[in-house]
Amino acid sequence: MTQLLLFNVFNGLIIGAFYALMALGLSLILNLSGVINFAHGGFLAIGGYLAYTLIPYLGFWGALLVSPFLVAFIGIVIERVLIRRLYGRDPLYSLLLTFGLAFMIEDGTRFIWGAQSLPYQIPGWLAAPLSSEYFFLTGYRVFMMILVGAAVLGLFLILNHTRLGLRIRAGTLDLETVSVLGVNVRVLRNLNFGLGIYLAGLAGVLAVGMLGLEPTIGDNLIMPSFIAIIVGGLGSLPGTLVGGLLIGVASGVTSVFFPSASEAVIYVMMAAVLIVRPRGLLGEEGRF
């Protein structure tokens, strides 16, 4: 039983890291622009579909590299054309817009690539188990963990050691003052949105290695991502990371004892956090 629990904790951490990757993108956009991006799952799906389409031309690695950037570009265009117009209004406006956008993306992918799942093949050596004698782990999950880790590290380096990151962090605290200091807030929000969508695109490319590639692929991943934000604390990127990991582990461990509650447990966690510590585990008091 101990071994079973350890296996599940470890796999839960990997899945949690994946949730965190999505949630970090959501959180970036939410923190700076106040936009609850319900189309995030849609951008994830686009990432997967673009990778599937590009593989014959660029190979697995080329598609892995290029697709998230293409998704980020699409995100930047959408922010420029649609979302920008709603800044300053009640957040429910942008929520409704992205809500509709999610449907449009889903039907768009269905129209272009069809409703049926598509076979996404990863390299054979990645698709193999590492060892199931001593630990139960697949090559692909380790690869995913490494990439997620690199992406999270990269994000924190950008935020803490670049001018763009400094401005994003400052804007998150007080956008008006940042603007008064001469920063072009429109460009800042646009780039930040692109960065968040890049993470969704990367999550999409990684997801299709172990999930079916079909138009609703983002639907089942978007809710855990929101919950990761709420559990970790609104406004806190480290909190989002912790929230993602926690719900992944909770879901994995629950699967050992009560599999049918493996999904429900993350909602229970969210409820518990909201009751006991409404600002989330690492959220700043009074921030939201």
Partner 1 sequence: MISGAAPKKLDRRIVIKGAVAGGVAQLAAPFVLTARAAETVKIGLDNPLTGTFAALGKNELIGAQLAVDQMNAKGGILGRQVELLVEDSTSGDTATAVQKALKLIDRDKVDFLIGNINSALAQAMANTSNQKGVFHIVPGGHTDTVTGSQCHWNVFRVCNTTRMETNSVSKLLLEGYGKNWYFITTDYAFGHSLQDGFEASLKQANGTKLGADFTPLGTTDFSANLIKAQSVIPDAIILLLAGDDMINCLKQAVQFGLNKKFHIAGAQQELEVNEGLPPDALFGDWVFEWYWKQPGVPHVEQFVADIRKRSGGKVPTARTWFGHAAMWSCQLAAEKAKSLEPIKLAKAMQGLVLPPEVALMPNNPYYRIGDNQLMPTLFVGQSQPAPAGGDPEDLFKVSQLVKGDEAALPVDQTGCKMEWPS
| Residues 186-245 interacting with partner 1 (rule: CB under 8 A) | 207, 210-217, 219-223, 226-227, 229-230, 234
State yes or no: residue 143 binds partner 1 (CB under 8 A). Answer: no
Complex with partner 1: residue 157 or 180, whichever CB lies closer = 180
Judged by beta carbon, residue 73 or residue 223, the one nearer partner 1 is 223
Structure tokens at 158: 């950008």
Please tell me the distance from the alpha carbon of residue 70 to that of residue 29, in angstroms, as a whole number: 18
**Beta carbon nearer to partner 1, 77 or 128:** 128
Cβ distance to partner 1 smaller for residue 69 or 99 = 99
Residue 273 Cβ vs partner 1, minimum distance, rounded to whole Å: 10
Report the residue number, 59 or 154, with the smaller CB distance to partner 1.
Answer: 59
Whole-number Å distance between alpha carbons of 253 and 246: 11
Q: Select from 111, 132, 150, 154 the one that contacts partner 1 (CB under 8 A).
A: 132
Could you say which of 53, 65, 69, 110 contacts partner 1 (CB under 8 A)?
Answer: 110
Distance linking the first and last C-alpha atoms of the chain: 42
Find the part of the chain contacting partner 1 (CB under 8 A) among 9-17, 63-71, 158-166, 192-200.
9-17
Q: Annotate 250-262 with b (16+ C-beta within 10 A) or e (fewer).
A: bbbbbbeeeeeeb
β-bridge mates for residue 286, sequence order: none
- Considering only 134, 161, 259, 285, the residue that binds partner 1 (CB under 8 A) is 259
145 binds partner 1 (CB under 8 A): no
Which of positions 59-78 make contact with partner 1 (CB under 8 A)? Answer: none
Q: Select the residue interacting with partner 1 from 36, 71, 72, 231 (CB under 8 A).
A: 36
Q: Does 164 bind partner 1 (CB under 8 A)?
A: no
Dist CA 145 CA 148 (whole Å): 5
Q: Does 79 bind partner 1 (CB under 8 A)?
A: no
Q: Indicate the burial class of 230 (C-beta count within 10 angstroms; 0-12, 13-18, 19 or more).
A: buried
Binder of partner 1 out of 17, 21, 22, 34 (CB under 8 A): 34
Torsion sign over Cα 15, 16, 19, 20: negative
Closest CB to partner 1 among residues 88, 161: 88
Residue 42 interacts with partner 1 (CB under 8 A): yes or no: no
Listed residue (226, 194, 223, 215) closest to 48, CA to CA: 215
Identity of the residue, 142 or 153, whose beta carbon is nearer to partner 1 in the bound complex? 142
Give the number of other CB atoms < 10 A from CB of residue 99.
14
Single-letter code of the amino acid located at 229: I
Give the containing element (helix H, strand E) for 65.
Answer: helix 40-81
- A 10 A CB-CB count for 212 gives 14
